[in-house]
Amino acid sequence: MTNEEKIAICAEAGHEVNRLYCQSLGDLSQPLWADAPSWQKESAIKGVAGAIEGASPEDSHKSWLVEKEATGWKYGPVKDPEKKEHPCMVPYADLPEDQQLKDFLYLTTVRAMASALGVAE
């Protein structure tokens, strides 16, 4: 298995953990990895590098914000991919605790998978 394939597996694992966590909060907007749009998969894959490099949840959120802003997303009270609006388009400190935990879960999951798979940095 190539390193690129391993990174994709790490991204999928992080995505799926976040999807299930969101479901537990009543947010059913996250598709299965297989059904996720390419922009969502690419975002998760980019997040793997930060996780492997030791990013904190706050660092991860800042990187996510930069990526979202660069692709035209802005704050909106409800996540709406068509309008490119998202309620998490705020500084990390302003996120609700349950959203901060989502960043932590993603990083923890990705790091565990990367370790198990022997992903090269």
Tens of pLDDT, residue by residue over 66-115, are 999 999 999 999 988 899 999 999 999 999 999 999 999 999 999 999 99
The radius of gyration computed from the CA coordinates of the chain, to the nearest angstrom, equals: 14
| 22 neighbors 29 (Cβ within 8 angstroms) | yes
- What is the reported pTM? 0.88
In the numeric block, which tokens belong to residue 88?
Answer: 């998490």
Enumerate residues 6+ apart whose C-beta is below 8 A from 98.
25
Q: Read off the tokens for 36.
A: 């996720």
Mean pLDDT of the chain: 94
For residues 92 and 61, the answer to whether their CB atoms sit within 8 Å is yes
CA distances 119 to 3, 46, 112, Å, are 6, 14, 10
In contact, 114 and 51? CB cutoff 8 Å: yes
Q: Find out whether 6 and 117 touch, Cβ atoms under 8 Å.
A: yes
End-to-end CA distance of the chain: 15
Residue carrying the six token digits 């966590």: 21
What is the share, in percent, of the chain residues with pLDDT greater than 90?
A: 88
Return the H-helix or E-strand segment holding 85.
Answer: strand 85-86
Say what the pLDDT of residue 102 is.
94
